[in-house]
Amino acid sequence: MSGAIIECSGVTKLFGDFAGLNNVSLSVSPGTIGLLGPNGAGKSTLMKCLLQLHPISMGGARLLGRDVGSEGREIRTRVGYAPEQDCLISGMLGCEYVTYCAQLNGLPFQEARQRAHEMLDFVGMGQERYRAVDTYSTGMKQRVKLAQAIVHDPELVFLDEPTNGLDPKGREQILQLVESLWKKHNISVVLSSHLLQDVDRICGEIIIIARGEVLVQDTLKNLKARRAGFAELVVEGEHQRVLEILRANECTCELESNGHITVKHGRESLTPVLKFLHDEGVRPIEALPSPNALEEVFLQALSNHGPD
Amino acid sequence: MAQIDSSYTHRDGDTRGIGYRRWVIAQATLTACLKLKGMKWVVWSCWIYAFLQGIFLFGFGQLMDPSSAVYAFITENLGFFKSIGPMFQGWAEENPRIAIGMTYNLFFYIFTGYIVSTLTLSLVALGMAIPRLITSDLSSRAITIYSSKAVSRLDYCLGKFGGVMLLLTITWLGPMLATWLMGNLMAPKISFFWHTAPALLHSSMFVMSGMIFLGLMALGVSSMTSSPRTATSIWVGVLLLGVVLSRIGEGSENYWLQYLSFWFNLELLQGWVFNISGDFIELGTEYPSFTDGHIFDRFKERLGIKKNVSTPRHDVAVAITCLSLLGGAALLTLYKKVKPE
Ligand SMILES: Nc1ncnc2c1ncn2[C@@H]1O[C@H](COP(=O)(O)OP(=O)(O)OP(=O)(O)O)[C@@H](O)[C@H]1O
Ligand SMILES: [Mg+2]
């Protein structure tokens, strides 16, 4: 698909006097999009407005090239959504629930049931699918939510904090799955999170949002380039000597409490730095170009925006 | 947890239209209701009740047939029927529209709305179903899931309404139809079908309008709260309030209070649809000596039919208006409450 999948122009969402979203304008192309922001930033509100779960107070938005205000129902046949909170239908079995969700999107029963099982396999649900959803653990709920969001083979899915409450292994699995949605299956993903690592791992494009406003929208690559002049080195012993060498080469550097050395070298890439260290006989165990780029950009964006 | 199997595949089948999606919601609602503890018993009771009524109609049919074994048995054991039996038979020959048609009309008037009837059982069924209709979706935030699918709030409400209609069809309309069919299939003459058609028409009209009204009320009550207990309590409260209001209003200066009771309004509507008093008036003109008998007076008293006066149109119009207003209030509650958070 070509063209923007999400277009917002001046979207404002008022809750009484309070603006949950304030004049948000965006144009997003297909891919994996990370929606970052602190608690209460308006991430969930943005998703809900795009899906017409909340009516938009002012402005207009288009999803997949169609107006959400007038064609909401048609759009939603091609869009999936996994909300932040629990939203299971009590009394149903896991597989019944996913089948039902597929039917609600217009899949005939036979196909709905078959796809429900495929998706439950896909998200790694085993025999638990034959249990009532009321008995599920947080991890199972997250998986079922993901399954119901993709069961009708959408072109775009909104996942609101899909890794919340998952153990490290489960989180890794879910992130892999989400990543594969775009990389292998060409389904665009909008993923909201306040966990920078998640977004850093799988998202191609980042939208930073705070207090209802979009602060930054850029590709992860560009954001990292903004921090290109920074690096983090891990060396064995001889910390002082390395610091001296770096300073002699016009770098600002500091020894962190964990023994890592952060370097502000100001060069386009890390290669020249590694070269002069090598010339001095220093071989870093690890060298990270633009470390914590996302975190830095995130914190900077928030601080530019004024104190919370 | 099972190993990850990234077997995601794209689908290329058709997508069904909005009618199908609404039907899916209706079906799921019915299924959820039938799964409730005790609902099976209520449904069975409705059908057993229908069956017993069918047997009763069979007995009535046999009265018309002097050659039948049942008739012989009855007249032998119950002297009362010895006198009334031949009278009915002569009558059925002479004026089947009155003898068969009107009697059926009276029977179905009683079947569809008497104190102990499938209506009462249906109200019980609705009371049990109410926490499952919308209340549970409100408490589990399932409304959010519905709204994120290809259905709108209206589609959701239509689907739920369809589910309630299906439930009431099982507990009220279906048994009524079954009783009618049973009575006629076991009747001595095929012409029973023809003569009793008005009774069927009246029953269907009344039952269906009652279903629509009660369905709306149930949905309205169900959407008022996210607590199952509160929802059930409200439903019981509404039913009791109806009884109390019509009792207080009855025969007092504040007779208008009765119109606030949906029981009373439904009764008026029923009386009008079945036109029982019209039947009695006709009976009185054709067979004056007959209706003056004290049996019929007691009957009329029991049924609350004013002596030989048809239900005034004006009263019925007020009743229908009041029912519509109540239904409208239920719709408004739905509109206000059925929203994703
Ligand atoms: N229904 C509502 N009524 C009133 N205010 C609301 C409503 N929904 C959201 N808000 C407010 O809008 C703001 C944005 O909320 P939102 O849920 O979008 O935040 P978020 O970015 O998803 O945060 P989190 O990371 O905690 O999920 C918050 O201040 C919240 O209090
Ligand atoms: Mg949120």
Domain boundaries, chain B: 18-275+311-336
Q: What is the pLDDT of residues A282-303, one digit of tens each?
A: 888 888 777 777 777 777 777 7
Higher pLDDT, A250 or A80: A80
Q: Which ligand is nearest to the CA of A193?
A: 1
d(Cα B329, Cα B190) in Å, to the nearest integer?
46
B198, B279 in Cβ contact below 8 A?
no
Q: What is the pLDDT of residues B72-117, one digit of tens each?
A: 777 777 766 666 667 777 777 777 777 788 888 888 888 887 666 7
> Residue A19: enclosing H or E segment and its boundaries?
strand A18-28
Compute the nearest-CA separation of A280 from chain B (Å).
47
Q: Which ligand is nearest to the CA of A209?
A: 1
B26 touches chain A (CB under 8 A): no
Instruction: Provide the mean pLDDT of chain A.
Output: 87
Q: What is the pLDDT of residue A1?
A: 44
Q: What is the pTM of this model?
A: 0.86
Chain center to CA of B332: 24
d(Cα A242, Cα B286) in Å, to the nearest integer?
121
Q: Is the pLDDT of residue B122 over 80?
A: yes
Sorted by sequence, the CB contacts under 8 Å of residue B129 that are 6+ apart come out as: B33, B36, B39, B164, B167, B218
Instruction: Give ion ligand 2 contacts, CB < 5 A.
Output: A 44, 84
Instruction: Provide the mean pLDDT of chain B.
Output: 83
> Residue B188: exposed, middle, or buried by beta-carbon count in 10 A (0-12, 13-18, 19+)?
middle
Q: In B62-210, which ranges are E strands?
A: none
Q: Is the pLDDT of residue A43 over 70?
A: yes
Q: Which of A233, A227, A202, A214 is nearest to A295 (CA)?
A: A227
Strand A18-28 vs strand A230-234: parallel, antiparallel, or unpaired? unpaired
Q: What is the pLDDT of residue B1?
A: 46
Pick the atom of ligand 1 nearest to A37's CA: 21
Residue listed under structure tokens 């209709």: B133
B77 touches chain A (CB under 8 A): no
The verdict on the CB of residue A211 being under 6 Å from ligand 1 is no
Give rounded-to-5 percent helix, strand, coil for chain A.
40, 25, 35
Report residue A108 as tokens.
């005939």
Q: Is the pLDDT of residue B181 over 60?
A: yes
Percentage of chain A exceeding pLDDT 70: 98
B21 touches chain A (CB under 8 A): yes
Structure-derived torsion over alpha carbons of residues B298, B304, B310, B315, reported in degrees to the nearest 10? 170
Compute the nearest-CA separation of B238 from chain A (Å).
27
B147 touches chain A (CB under 8 A): yes
Percentage of chain B exceeding pLDDT 90: 32
Query: If pLDDT is split at 50, 70 and 90, which confidence band does B292 have?
Result: low
Query: If pLDDT is split at 50, 70 and 90, which confidence band does B3 have?
Result: very low
User: Phi/psi of residue B17, each to 5°?
Assistant: -75, 180
Least CB-CB distance to B28: which of A54, A100, A124?
A100
Compute the nearest-CA separation of A79 from chain B (Å).
8
B142 touches chain A (CB under 8 A): yes
For ligand 1, atom 18, which residue shows the shortest CA distance? A42
Higher pLDDT, A146 or A264: A146
Mean pLDDT, residues A88-109: 92
- Residue B285 burial (CB count, 10 A): 10
Contact B140 A89 (CB under 8 A): yes
Q: Which of A81, A51, A77 is nearest to A162 (CA)?
A: A81
User: A212 alpha carbon to ligand 2 midpoint, in Å?
Assistant: 12
Chain center to CA of A68: 22
Return the minimum-mean-pLDDT range out of A126-140, A165-179, B87-101. Answer: B87-101
Q: What is the pLDDT of residue B183?
A: 86
d(Cα B278, Cα B181) in Å, to the nearest integer?
25
Q: What is the pLDDT of residue B158?
A: 95
Q: Is the pLDDT of residue B299 over 70?
A: no
Compute the nearest-CA separation of B337 from chain A (Å).
14
Q: Is the pLDDT of residue B279 over 80?
A: no
Q: What is the pLDDT of residue B99?
A: 76
Q: Name the residue in chain B with its Cα closest to that of A170.
A: B1
Mean pLDDT, residues B172-180: 92
User: Phi/psi of residue B57, each to 5°?
Assistant: -65, -35
Return the minimum-mean-pLDDT range out of A131-145, B105-119, B212-226. Answer: B105-119
Sorted by sequence, the CB contacts under 8 Å of residue A161 that are 6+ apart come out as: A84, A192, A193, A194
Mean pLDDT, residues A99-104: 94
Mean pLDDT, residues A40-58: 90
Q: What is the pLDDT of residue B6?
A: 54
Strand A156-160 vs strand A230-234: parallel, antiparallel, or unpaired? unpaired
Mean pLDDT, residues B260-285: 79
Sorted by sequence, the CB contacts under 8 Å of residue B45 that are 6+ apart come out as: B121
Q: What is the pLDDT of residue B302?
A: 59
Contact B1 A170 (CB under 8 A): yes
B83 touches chain A (CB under 8 A): no
d(Cα B172, Cα B164) in Å, to the nearest integer?
12
Q: What is the pLDDT of residues B145-174, one digit of tens each?
A: 999 998 988 999 999 999 999 999 999 999
Strand A32-36 vs strand A205-210: parallel, antiparallel, or unpaired? parallel
